[in-house]
Amino acid sequence: MPNSSRSPRTHSTGHLPTLKLHANREKSVRNRHPWIFSGAIAHWPQELEDGGLAAVSAANGERLGYAYVNRRCSIAARMVAFGDAEPYTAIRDNLTRAVAFRRKHFDPAQTNAVRLVNGEGDMLPGLIVDQYADVLVVQISTLGMERLKPFVLETLVELTQPRAVYEKSDVAARYEEGLTDFAGLLYGRDFGPLVVTEQGLRFHVDIKHGQKTGLFLDQRDMRALVQSLAAGRRVLNGFAYTGGFSLYARHGQAQQVVSVDSSGGALRLAQGNHILNGFSVTDDDFVEADMFAYLRQLDAAAFDFIILDPPALARKREDVIRAGRAYKDLNRLAMAKVAPGGLVLTCSCSHFVDEKLFGQIVFQAACEAGRQVRILHRHRQALDHPVSVFHPEGSYLKSLLLSVD
């Protein structure tokens, strides 16, 4: 539990060692990009420990800001403050702005499951914070942010007064940073499964055992798009997880909605979410199966709206070629099987498959399916998942709404 006897405002950096960059390697930092690669660093102070804070200077000695560091990583430093801003003050100010922005744009009576902090998009690299009702879920991916965790926790509690703060840090990036996975209660009272509201619909959330931090909050606006298009359509929701797209389609007056997922446990939660919102359920509407196999055996034109939102198929750069083949097969099958004049919503959350490559994959799938395909809509980024213009690498989720004739 945070030490309430000391306000975050009393934190002081004192004298910090200085990390000096090579000549002509400071341009990206001047442009407020938060990452500094190891090859740009000319001098490492001996007293600087991995995970610690350092001042960052250009080759001529000009102060550029402050970063936390880790020699063992290719991204050796990540900026937390630029110019003369003191690092703890900057972190606190960025947390304050992040929380205030979400409070401005989200009515908790309609949506009380939001991302409060989106890493570099909120100038807080290595930190994700999601709020589910009165519980915060923290995910930390870097050693530097791990060292800052007590201060961040103290500030979050002061700003949001949560019932509990739970950490669920299980991302692959932690291993390069020298960290292991961690999950546990950081603050407040223990809790069980929650019920949250998203755009008027209600969802069961199992933070401790579900994927990510509980819900795929980054698809909120695309779920609303599905709702707006679902009326009278036969909808197939692949990789349905706990049924977010399915529930929105039902709410949008779809004629039929079938949810397919390889996890029986996820589908049971999906059924529970339908019941929670007053929708009838039958076993035929929830199919435990591999989506690739399901599409191969599916009768042509059985559905006129197919949704593909698979988990990341490329979790590291070496996976891209294999993942590209899988994405192409998946999209080819959906395009071949959807009814004429139907819709396919296809998504990728693989960071290493960028928007250009994903578009090429979809193009190849359309060629092989032999269908006329048009793009109707590109991914609409939810307001609580901002991407910094100085850090375009923060954009990872791609979605295309396709019309297939």
DSSP-derived secondary structure letter, 109: T
Determine the Cα–Cα distance for residues 199 and 50; give it in Å rounded to an integer. 43
Question: Identity (one letter) of the amino acid at 109?
Answer: A
Rounded distance, CA 292 to CA 327, Å? 10
d(CA 48, CA 45): 5
Structure tokens at 117: 């902090």
Paired tokens of 219 = 């698809």
The yes-or-no answer on residue 349 being catalytic is yes
Cα–Cα distance for residue pair 292/106, rounded to 1 Å:
37
Q: At which residue do the structure tokens 């599409």 appear? A: 295
Amino acid found at 26: E
User: How many Å apart are CA 387 and CA 335, to the nearest integer?
Assistant: 31
Q: DSSP assignment of 73-100, as one string? A: SSEEEEEEEETT--HHHHHHHHHHHHHH
Q: What does the alpha-carbon distance between residue 106 and residue 372 come to, in Å, rounded to a whole number?
A: 39
Task: Given the residues 73, 347, 349, 367, select the one marked as catalytic.
Answer: 349
DSSP, collapsed to helix, strand or coil, labels residue 358 as helix
- Is the CB of residue 288 less than 8 Å from the CB of residue 316? no
Structure tokens at 105: 């744009």
Radius of gyration of the chain (CA): 23
Nearest to 86 by CA among 167, 13, 32: 13
E-assigned strand segments in 199-332? 201-205, 234-238, 256-261, 286-288, 305-308
Structural contact between residues 70 and 50, judged by C-beta atoms closer than 8 angstroms: yes
Helix (H) or strand (E) holding 336: helix 320-337
Which phi and psi angles does 205 have, rounded to 5°?
-130, 125
Rounded to whole angstroms, how far apart are CA atoms 144 and 68?
5
**Would you call 405 helix, strand, or coil by DSSP?**
coil
The residues assigned a catalytic role are: 349
